[in-house]
Structure 1
Amino acid sequence: MFKRWLLALVGRLGGLLLLLVCCCLGLVYILACKPVVGPSQQSLLWAGGATSKEGYMALLQEREDSHRHYINSLSKQIAQLKDTLQERTQQLQESLEKAKAKGILPLGLESLHKTPTQNDLKEFFRSQLNQAEVNSGLKMTSEYAVIPFDTFTLRRVYQLETGLTRHPEERPARKDRRDELITTLEAALHVLNAPHQHRDVPKGKRSYAPSDFIEGLTRTERDRGTVYEMLFKGGGPHDFTRLVFFRPFGPVMKVKSERVDTANMLINIIVPLSKRAHSFRQFMANFRKVCIHEDNVVHLTVVYFGREQIDQVKAILDQTTRETRFRNFTLIQMNEELNAAPGKTVYYPVLFSQYNPALIYSNLTHPPPVDLQLVIQKETGFWRDFGFGMTCQYRSDFLNIGGFDRSIKGWGLEDVHLYRKYLHSKLMVVRSPSRGLFHLWHEKLCADELSPDKYKMCMQTKAMSEASHGRLGELFFKPQIEDHLRAQKRN
């Protein structure tokens, strides 16, 4: 019995000794492997003669307390934000309920008083599309209420709202606008390259690329969204695809995708003319370059009013026939003062109006040829957004709207009145800059017999067509500029 007790006691003492030896070895290891504390690290240890181990423990405890305080502070801020958000949500809910009870809740906000679903979102976007001027026109109060379209290509954006200090084009477009258009282009390519788009193509799928994009139109209605019309070239010379998208301040939506075959599409150009044989000669020179040589699928109708200079007009047309063998034209002679050529849309392109070449190229001995003057730059011209004489519309629409106001005598306003009639109708008026149409500069004479308001309008048009704002400033302040240059030379 005693031996067993003694053996057990020896075993316990041996275990205690072994534990004591392990603790000693561990302490020696810690002391031998402690890091060297530099002068910059001494400040991290607590003062008062604490050992290095106690200092590190205190430092860890301090950091833990600091993080705990920071977490508590964030938790309080989050709680306060939640309370504020809940209070604002409650206020908004009460306001919406009051507005709904009074029947003045804005269209599209009815779903805010309930938990929104995906179907509610689709219905809201669909309502925005139905209100926007995409499929049908809206009645406008005046010509200034029309939101113009911007014309864009892969690299440039042509817009009207440029002001005097900006260029008539953005090249390249600013980043936010460029990203927006690139996103829409990618959506269009996704639609074009979808499998169901190529079921009727016998030779397999044709992949569309950004290089197939020709140009597009876009405009934003501030309370509804942005519409995009994009034109892509197809496999043949007369094969085109037109896509319409709508972005109701959310995901872009496809509105329409249709193929446009222009192989048998005859373009009718109607030119009302009275005198001005010299201007008509310049027009026919451009007509030969653009319409006859490039396309030839066009019919020209010249409606000539009066008899003076009609022989010169006939001679110009006969010369064109002899030199180009083009016979798709009709000359109608009328003694009336004015007469001109169902529907959804009427097109009013905005021309780029050329400044006076004598002022633009005054530093050159001779101005460059006319075709080299057709450059869209701030110094060479401006978008003629106040002109409504150039238009593309169906004859039936023209007749149904009442045509021109034939009571107007003299220069101006007949095209503006016609334009306003379309604005007050249900037809959509497409107003956008056309980078292929130019208004060539010509001398403008304001007749003395014009009424004071028309004479003033004529003179304003004359002044705007002479030169850019900067160039006119140089001419106006030319004496002061020359005096300054002479003073600088003397100094």
Structure 2
Amino acid sequence: MPRRGLVIQARTRWLLVGLALLFSLVLLMYLLECAPQTDGNGSLPGVVGESMGKEYYQALLQEQEEHYQNRATSLKRQIAQLKQELQEMSDKLKSLQEKKSPKVNGMNYQGTKEQTSNDLLEFLHSQIDKAEVSVGAKLPSEYGVIPFESFTSMKVFQLEMGLTRHPEEKPVRKDKRDELVEVIEAGLEVINNPDEEDGQEEDDGVGDRQLYSENDFIEGYYRTERDKGTQYELFYKKMDGMEYRHVTLFRPFGPLMKVKSETVDISRSIINVIVPLAGRTEAFAQFMQNFRDVCIHQDKRVHLTVVYFGHDGLSEVKSILESVARQTDFNNYTLVSLNEEFNRGRGLDMGARAWEKGEVLMFFCDVDVYFTAEFLNSCRLNAEPGKKVFYPVVFSLYNPAIVYANQDIPPPVEQQLVHKKDSGFWRDFGFGMTCQYRTDFLTVGGFDLEVKGWGGEDVHLYRKYLHGELMVVRTPVPGLFHLWHEKHCADELTPEQYRMCIQSKAMNEASHSHLGMLVFREEIEAHLRKQAYRTNSEAVG
């Protein structure tokens, strides 16, 4: 869309309303002029009319007729101009639609050129009708208002931070940066071309105008109503001036449009669950209990690949796999043994290459992860070879010793799997659990095997997909949990890896409120002792 697209889009509503008003004005003015005069000398024939005679009335009528003919001509010219602008916008919208039409037309979307043109006009009109942020709407409380985010040319200030966002930060995502740059430039277009604002230049009374630039942008605010669109309030100011220029822009949402409808059959989709492991045999036994309940008894379309590093604990892992195989008649598993130092990326890479049956959907998993049968279906639905990779956000459980400190022992794991603020958090900074097809993994180059120790390899792979052609589906899923376990950050890690490990360790322990109670434990205990002392003193007295 050209640079003026946003301005034109925001003004289109007023153009359409202006058409209706102008037509109504012409009709109203005509009716008023055709009505008999109620004031002036022309309504007093006994005083002036008798002396002036017929010629006076004819001259008066002709003068009025010429006046309104000129006025009607002016209005017609303005209406024609508005129609032309509307047609230009329709043509631009049609051109954009045609550029994006191959995917849509591939889904049985047919029609004549006339139908397409009419549909585009109807779409434009309906979009304008719906595209209006409500003003003065009745809200149940002060919490019902949608807050604005504020921004400058370099920073964004946000209320909702989550776990990884900060109260002040640079717009890291490219789409957010592009959006704000486009909005600032659109505001400049409005200010520097006031002739496009229905005579703004005449209203301002400015002769030689100063042109504004990006350096004159001071601050802006934006908010989005999900059923209407995004509203922008922009402020500009010259360094040597005292006046601000305020521009309001609006990016409307249109009605829902069908893109495609398809049937997806996942009944024969096999998932290769790949688990890298070193030691931690107790955790692996717990993992296999979940695997047996979900994958063997319920889903039955799963292959397990365990990549084990080192010799210590290898015999126990073999014994656990063989025991499950005997009890459930399950033989769809592969054990890869590597006599080397643990490297998660290396283990997952070996697990992917150990598969020799062609294409397969892979789930990169850790031994501390608990998943449900519903998650396996989400894995199949959100990954597509050559098109999509799935990066679910895991719900990470806090330390049960802190969460359930008021109980003698923590409840069983199955009862800890709840999505509550004090029980866990969405690990939106982790990218280790992912579903993707083997060919896509190999095509993108797999993991960076130069990354040693903990962390980093999953982020590198994630970035490869972000820079590639495949769509990355990133969303929290309710059926995927990361069970708490104590973390050890080795001294051999690089500074960046160590920082990430410590950050993950800190986030894993407990919620903000629980950590606060631990920090102020001595103060709380002192308060309880004082309360007990006062109670005893009053009882004795």
Give the TM-score, by structure 2 length.
Answer: 0.46
Q: CA deviation at 1:275?
A: 2.9
The aligned amino acid for 2:447 is: F
Aligned residue pair count:
281
Q: CA deviation at 1:447?
A: 1.1
1:449 paired residue number = 492
Q: CA deviation at 1:418?
A: 0.6
1:415 aligns with 2:458: yes
Q: CA deviation at 1:321?
A: 0.9
Structure 2: gaps of 5 or more residues: 1-74, 98-116, 128-159, 164-225, 231-251, 353-384, 536-541
Question: Structure 2 CA distance, aligned partners of 1:470 and 1:358?
Answer: 15
The aligned amino acid for 2:406 is: N
What SS does the corresponding residue of 2:396 show, helix, strand or coil? strand
What do the CA deviations read for 1:288-310 (whole angstroms, capped 9, x no partner)?
11111112221112222343322
Question: Structure 2 CA distance, aligned partners of 1:271 and 1:437?
Answer: 15
Q: CA deviation at 1:332?
A: 2.1
Question: Structure 1 CA distance, aligned partners of 2:338 and 2:228?
Answer: 47
Structure 1: gaps of 5 or more residues: 1-85, 109-115, 127-160, 165-219, 225-247
1:285 paired residue number = 289
CA 1:252/1:221 → structure 2, altered by over 3 Å: closer, same or farther?
closer
What do the CA deviations read for 1:389-416 (whole angstroms, capped 9, x no partner)?
1110011111111111111112110100
1:271 aligns with 2:275: yes
1:61-72 to 2 correspondence within 5 Å?
none
Q: CA deviation at 1:267?
A: 2.3
Q: CA deviation at 1:254?
A: 2.6
CA contact (8 A) 2:123 2:254 kept: no
CA 1:124/1:352 → structure 2, altered by over 3 Å: closer, same or farther?
farther
Q: CA deviation at 1:334?
A: 3.4
What do the CA deviations read for 1:296-355 (whole angstroms, capped 9, x no partner)?
221112222343322111111001012212111122223465142241100011111010
2:394 to 348, 351, 368: 351
What do the CA deviations read for 1:151-189 (whole angstroms, capped 9, x no partner)?
xxxxxxxxxx7837xxxxxxxxxxxxxxxxxxxxxxxxx
- Which structure has the larger Rg? 1
Question: Structure 2 CA distance, aligned partners of 1:296 and 1:123?
Answer: 50
1:309 aligns with 2:352: no
CA RMSD, 1 decimal: 3.7
What SS does the corresponding residue of 1:332 show, helix, strand or coil? strand
The aligned amino acid for 1:426 is: E
2:525 paired residue number = 482
CA contact (8 A) 2:394 2:426 kept: yes
What do the CA deviations read for 1:413-435 (whole angstroms, capped 9, x no partner)?
01001101110111100011111
The aligned amino acid for 1:258 is: E
2:326 to 322, 329, 333: 322
Q: CA deviation at 1:488?
A: 4.3
What SS does the corresponding residue of 1:456 show, helix, strand or coil? helix
1:248-263 to 2 correspondence within 5 Å?
249-263=253-267
2:412 to 369, 385, 391: 369
What SS does the corresponding residue of 2:273 show, helix, strand or coil? strand
The aligned amino acid for 1:297 is: R
2:119 paired residue number = 118
Question: Structure 2 CA distance, aligned partners of 1:316 and 1:300?
Answer: 13
Highest RCO, 1 vs 2 (Cα 8 Å, sep ≥ 6): 1
CA 1:407/1:486 → structure 2, altered by over 3 Å: closer, same or farther?
same
Question: Structure 1 CA distance, aligned partners of 2:429 and 2:227?
Answer: 21
Report runs of 4+ in structure 1 exceeding 6 Å deviation. 123-126, 220-224
What SS does the corresponding residue of 2:304 show, helix, strand or coil? strand
**Identity %, equivalent residues:** 58
CA 1:344/1:335 → structure 2, altered by over 3 Å: closer, same or farther?
farther
Question: Structure 2 CA distance, aligned partners of 1:388 and 1:451?
Answer: 19
The aligned amino acid for 2:388 is: T
Give the TM-score, by structure 1 length.
Answer: 0.51
CA contact (8 A) 2:123 2:255 kept: no
What do the CA deviations read for 1:108-140 (whole angstroms, capped 9, x no partner)?
9xxxxxxx95323548999xxxxxxxxxxxxxx
